[in-house]
Structure 1
C-alpha cells in the first residue's frame, strides 16, 4: 500500500511519478515503464475499435472494447498501489482476451492470432529473471489462449446466436466485474490515503509544537550564549587591562632598578661588588623579558596584535640589541659576534619593535644555554627585488643544543628542551613560541638546527620594505654611551612624577653633560616651557594634575613658534601599540619605553637635536 498516496497525487500518477517510499521505487524500473507504455497503447487501440464498432452499431463489441480501454487505463494505477505482479498478469490476460475476441470477429483468415507471439514476448519483458514462474504463467496464458482460439473457437465450436449472446454477456460481465474490483480497490486506497493524510497532519501539528518548544529552548540557549559571550568579552577586557596595568606598574620600578644597575656598573665597582651587580642586572632583564612575554602571549591569543610599517636603521637596531647583551656575554666569557653582509640594506621598512623582540628572545636563549664559546648573529639578503627585500637572521651558539626527539616541539607553548633544562636555567618556555608567532604573523619563517652538546642555530626569515638611504648619517652617537660629549650643553626639560626615576634620569643626563630642569607634572612642564627655552622635553605620560598628553597638546598651542615646536619625547612604561598611537596623536615626536635602554635614549636625543 502506498505511503504517499493522496487525492492530489493523481496528477503525479498520470505523469508517471512514483508515489511509494524511497526504498520501494517502482517507476524507475524498466518493467514498469513497459507496463505503462503497453497499457496506454492498448487502451488507445481499444478506443479505436470501440469507435469502429460503435459506427457499425455492434453494441456487444462496443461495450467489450470500452471495458478493455478502461481496464488498460486502470492497470497502471493498480500497479502503482503496490499490486505490480497482479497488474502485469492482468495486462497479459486482457491482451490475450482482446486477441481472441478480434480473431473471433474477423475469422481465421485475418491471422490476428499471430499477435500471441508478441504477447508471449511481453511476458518476458514484464518479468525479470527473479520472477521466472510469473513469466512462465504469462507465456502459458498466451499459449492457452492460442489453443482456445485455434482449436475451440475456429475448429470445434459452432456457436448459435443464443450461445454467442451468452459469451458476449459473459465477457461484458467479466469486464464490469474487473472494472468494479479496480475501482473498489482505488476507492479503498483513496480512503486509506485520506486517513494517512489526517494522521500526517496530526503528526505535523505535533512536530510543529515540538519544534516550537525546541526553538524556544534554542532562543534561550542563544540568549545565554550572548550573555556568556558578553561576560567573556568583559573578562578578556579586564584581563587585558590587568596585564597592561601590571606591565606599567612593574616597568616603572624596573626602570629604576635597571637604570641604577647600569650606572653602578659604570662606576668602576670593586670586584666583590661586580658579581652582585651583574646578578641584579641579569635578574632585572630576565624579569622584564618575562613581563613582555606574558603580555604579548595574551595579545597573540586574543588576536589583537598589530604590526607597524615604519622606517628604521637596521645597523642601529642590531647595535642596540648587542649592547644590551654585551655585559651578560662578558660576564660568562662568551664572544658576541655579528656579521652583516654588504648587500643588506641599511634602512628598512617594517616593525623594528617586533624584530627587536624576536632577536632579543633568540639572543637571550643563546646566551642562557651557552657556557663557553660564542654567540653569533649573521644577517644576509635572500632576495632583493624592487623595493622589497627578504632578510635572513641566523643566531648560532655553542651551547648545550637540543635533543633531536624534542626539536619538533621546541616552539610549543611552555616547552623547553627538557625538564632538566627547566630546573637548571628556568624560564617560562614562552620566548620561542612568541618569536615563532610574531615571525609567522608577519609572513616569515623560523627554523632551528641543533645537535645536542654542540650548539644550535635559529634562523628567521622576514620580508621588509627597503627605504632610501640618507645622504648624511646622523648616527654618530651609536655605541657611545658613557663619557660622551655629543649632548654637552643641550638643554633638556624632564617631566617625571616618580622621584626614583627622576634620580635615575638625572644621573644619566649629568653624565652626558646636558643642562636640565626637572618638574613633577605636566602643569609644571607647561609653566617651565613658557619661562625658558629648551632643546628637548622628556615627558612622562601618567602624572598628577596634568598628564603628558594634555601638557603636550597645550604646548603645541603656544603662541611662541619656537616653544610650540620644541621636540617632545614620551617616557612611557606602557608597551601597547594604542599608547604609541596616542603619543603621536597628542603631538609628541618620539617615545622611549621604560625601562629605557641608555644607548637608545642617547641616540634619540642626538638625532632629535641634530648632533
Structure 2
C-alpha cells in the first residue's frame, strides 16, 4: 500500500500507477492513460507560458496560466477519486479555455484557434464507444469555443479593461472552486482510507491474536500427542512384555500337562483310561492353540510377524499334521485322509512352522464342524516347471455343517464365526481363520472358501515355495526314527528350575536310555560342565541365580575346548523371534519350544550326536 495520499503521488498517476498499490497498474483503459498524459503535458505547457508572461510584463496573464497549471495537475487526482467523467470534461474545457485566451492575446492572425481540432480529437481519445454522448459533448464544447472565439471575440465584441477583469476573476473563481472540490473529495477519500486502514490493522491484530491462540492450542495438542505417543509406546511395550510373560507362564505348565499326557498314552493305559487321557490331550492342545492364536494376532497387528526361509520335508509336514489330529478324528468317527499330487518336490524352502499353523487351523476347524463323513487334506501343484519355485494349492475339504451364504465373506474377519450359535456350540476365539488369512497373504499367497450350508466346506490355500536341494535333514530324520536306540548312553545335562518339568523331561529321556544330570539354575550348570563332560546341555532360559543366556556365555568362555564347544539346546516357553535371536547370540546351538514335541527333541538330540 502506498504510504502517501498527497500531491507527491502525482508522478505515480502520470505513470499510470495506483496510489493505493505500488505494484498495481491502473489505466487499463486508454482513456485514463490519455487523461494522465495530456493533463501533465498541458500543465507543463501552462507553466512555460506562466514563465514567459511573467518575464514579459506587457500582458499580465500569469494568474491565468497559474490556475491552468494547477487545474491540469488536479484533474488526474479528481479522476483517481472516482470522478472520471467529470475530470475528462474539465480537461477538455480547460484546454478550450486556454486556446481562447491565447487566441485573444495574439489575435486571429496567429491561428491559435486551429488547436481546437486536436481538442476535438482529444474528446475521441478520452471517451470510448460506450460513452458516445460524452464524446459528442466534448466535441461540441470545442466547436462552441471556436465559434465564440472566431465569430464573437474576433468579430463583434470588444472587451473593455473592466470586462476583461470580470472574465479574469470569473476564470480565477472557477479555478478556485475546482481546486476546492478536488481537495475536499481527496480529503474525504484520505479519511476513508485511513479509517479502512485502522480497521484492517485492528482486524490484523485480532487475527494475530487468534492465530497466536490457535498456535498455543496446536502446541498444546502436539505436546499431548507426544505424551500420548509415549504412553502408547509404553503400553505397546508393556503389552508385548505381558504377552511374552503370559506365554512363558502358561506354556511352562502346559509343557508338563502335554508331556505327561504323551507319556500316559505310551504306558499302555487301561481301556477306561484311554478316553480321559485323550480328552486331556485334546484339551491341552486346544488351549495351547488358543494361546498361539492370541499371540500371533497381537504380533500381526503390531506388524512384528516375520517368516523363516528354511528347508523342510513336505511329506513329513503333512504326516505330522494328520498324526496330531488322528485321535480327534477317530473319536468322532470321521475319516481323515491326505493326498499329495504327483510331481511335487518333497524338499521345499519356506516357513514350515507357519504353513503348519495355517493347515492346523483349517484341519482343526474342519474336524470341529464335522460330525460324520470325511475331512481331506490335498496338495496339488498349480505350477511346476524347470525354475526354482513351485506354486502349491492346499485343499482342506469336509462334509460338515457348512457356512451360511450371507456369512461366507465375513468368516475371515477377526472374532467372527459362521453363525451366531457357533461359538455357543463349538467354542473358539474366532481368530483361527483371520490369522490363517493374514499369514497366507503376508507370504504372497491367497486363501478362499467354497461352502454350501449343510453339505460341507472347502478351503483353498495357494502358496509359492522354492525347491530345496538338500536332503541331509530328511535322511537324518529317517535315521533317527529307525534307530531309536542310538540315544542310549547319551550324556545330557538338564538345567531347569521347575520341578514338574524336570520330572517330565526325566521320564522322556529315561525312555530313550539317556544318562541325564539335573541342576536347578545356570550357575550350577556351569559348575557341572567344569567338573564333568556332557554330550548335550538342555538349558532353560528363565532361572534364578543365573539365567540360561548368562550360563551359556560362561560355558563358551571355558578354557577346555571340548567343554567350551558342548552343544546347548535352549528350552524356551516364549516362541518369539527376539528370544530366538538372543538364544543364538548367547552361544546356544538350537532351541526347543515348550511344550516340546518329543519327536522334535529326539531329532535334535540325534543330530548333535551325529555331529
Tell me which residue corresponds to 1:336.
Answer: 337
Using CA pairs under 8 Å that are at least 6 residues apart, name the structure with larger relative contact order, 1 or 2. Answer: 1
Structure 1 position 292, deviation (Å):
1.5
Q: Tell me the secondary structure at the aligned position of residue 414 of structure 1.
A: coil
- Corresponding residue SS for 2:477: coil
In 1, distance between residues paired with 2:165 and 2:478?
A: 130
Matched, 1:313 2:317: no
Contact 2:339 2:378 in 1 (8 A): yes
Secondary structure of 2:238 counterpart: helix
CA offsets, 1:211-255, max 9 Å, x none?
Answer: 555555554444444444434433333332222211111111111
Cross-structure match for 2:604: 604
Preserved CA contact (<8 Å) 1:296 1:434: yes
Q: Distance in 1 between matches of 2:38 and 2:479?
A: 108
Scaled by the length of structure 1, the TM-score of the pair is: 0.81
Instruction: Describe the shift of the 1:377–1:556 C-alpha distance in structure 2 as closer, same or farther (beyond 3 A).
Output: farther
Any idea what SS the aligned residue of 1:609 has?
Answer: helix
Moved more, 290-299 or 514-523: 514-523
Q: Is residue 2:143 matched to residue 1:110?
A: no
Bigger mean CA offset, 411-420 vs 294-303: 294-303
Q: Give the match for residue 190 of structure 2.
A: 190
Q: Is the 8 A contact 1:558 1:564 kept in 2?
A: yes
- Supply the distance in 2 between the matched residues of 1:411 and 1:155 (Cα, whole angstroms): 108
Q: Deviations over 1:35-90 (max 9, x none)?
A: 54233232344246436645764746743652353134314532xxxx3xxx2212
Query: TM-score w.r.t. structure 2 length?
Result: 0.81
| Matches for 1:577-592 after TM superposition, within 5 Å | 577-592=577-592
Give the SS at the match of 1:546.
coil
Q: Could you tell me how far apart the structure 2 residues matched to 1:405 and 1:122 are? A: 81
Is the contact made by 1:482 and 1:512 (CA closer than 8 Å) also made in structure 2? no
Equivalent residue number for residue 373 of structure 1: 374
Q: Secondary structure at the match of 1:254?
A: helix
1:344 Cα deviation after fit: 4.6
Give the whole-Å Cα distance in 2 for the aligned partners of 1:54 and 1:447. 102
Which structure has the larger Rg? 2
> 1:119 maps to which residue?
123
Residue by residue over 1:484-526, the C-alpha shift from the partner in whole angstroms, topping out at 9 and shown as x without a partner, is: 3453443332222222222322333333343333333223333
Change (3 A) 1:376 1:542: same
Deviation at residue 168 of structure 1 after TM alignment? 5.6
Would the aligned equivalents of 1:396 and 1:458 in 2 still touch at CA under 8 Å? yes
Shift of 1:591: 0.8
Distance verdict in 2 for CA 1:472–1:199, change over 3 Å: closer
1:226-305 equivalences under 5 Å are 226-303=226-303, 305=304
Check if 1:46 corresponds to 2:42.
Answer: yes
Structure 2 distance, partners of 1:169, 1:175, is 10
The answer as to 2:89 corresponding to 1:90 is no
Correspondence list, 1:172-211, <5 A = 172-198=172-198, 200-201=200-201, 204-205=204-205, 208=208, 211=211
| 1:450 alignment partner in structure 2 | 451
* SS in structure 1 of the partner of residue 591 of structure 2: strand
Cα displacement string for residues 144-164 of structure 1 (whole angstroms, at most 9, x for unaligned residues): 425533654544565544566
Per the alignment, in what secondary structure is the counterpart of residue 477 of structure 1?
Answer: helix
Deviation at 1:137?
A: 5.7
Tell me how far apart the structure 1 counterparts of residues 479 and 73 of structure 2 sit (CA, whole Å): 110
> Is the deviation greater in 246-255 or in 371-380?
371-380
527 and 141 in structure 1: CA distance in 2 versus 1, 3 angstrom threshold: same
**Residue 23 (structure 1) aligns with:** none
- Shift of the 65–447 alpha-carbon distance from structure 1 to 2, 3 Å rule, reads farther
Between the aligned partners of 1:42 and 1:36, the Cα distance in structure 2 is 10
1:330 and 1:18 mapped to 2: Cα distance? 99
Inter-partner Cα distance in structure 2 for 1:12 and 1:210: 37
C-alpha distance in structure 2 between counterparts of 1:506 and 1:249, whole Å:
21
Cα distance in 1 for partners of 2:568, 2:474 equals: 19
Counterpart contact for 1:449–1:457, Cα < 8 Å: yes
**Per-residue displacement from partner, 1:375-420 (whole Å, max 9, x unpaired)?**
3142536588976x47444332123333332233222211111112
Query: Taking structure 1 as reference, are residues 395 and 272 closer, same or farther at Cα in structure 2, changes over 3 Å only?
Result: farther
Q: 1:52 to 1:17 in 2, by over 3 A?
A: closer
Distance in 2 between residues matched to 1:19 and 1:361, nearest whole Å: 78
How far residue 271 of structure 1 moved from its aligned partner, in angstroms, is 4.4
Partner of 2:537: 537
- RMSD over equivalenced CA pairs, Å: 3.9
8 Å contact 1:42–1:72 — kept in the other structure? Answer: no
Distance of 1:167 and 1:360 partners within structure 2: 118
Where does the alignment leave 5 or more consecutive residues of structure 1 unmatched? 21-25, 128-134
Q: Could you tell me which residue of structure 1 aligns to residue 138 of structure 2?
A: 142
Match of 1:426 in 2: 427
Contact between 1:480 and 1:599, CA under 8 Å: does it hold in 2? no
Inter-partner Cα distance in structure 2 for 1:169 and 1:356? 116
- Determine if contact 1:120/1:138 at 8 Å carries over to the other structure: no
Distance 1:18 1:417 in 2: 78
Give 3-state SS (helix, strand or coil) of 2:421's partner: helix
Note closer, same or farther for the CA distance 1:150–1:326 as it changes in structure 2 (3 Å cut). farther
- 1:10-89 superposed matches below 5 A: 16=17, 19=20, 32-47=28-43, 49-50=45-46, 53=49, 57=53, 59=62, 62-63=65-66, 65-78=68-81, 83=82, 87-89=83-85
Displacement of 1:328 after TM fit?
2.7
**1:34 positional shift:** 3.8
Q: Give the CA deviation at 1:293.
A: 1.7
Separation in 1, partners of 2:220, 2:317: 55
Count the aligned residue pairs: 583
Cα distance change of structure 1 residues 8 and 493 upon mapping to structure 2, 3 Å threshold: farther
| Structure 1 residues 359 and 184, CA gap change in structure 2 (3 angstroms) | farther
Q: Distance in 2 between matches of 1:8 and 1:123?
A: 27
Match of 2:106 in 1: none
SS across alignment from 1:412: coil
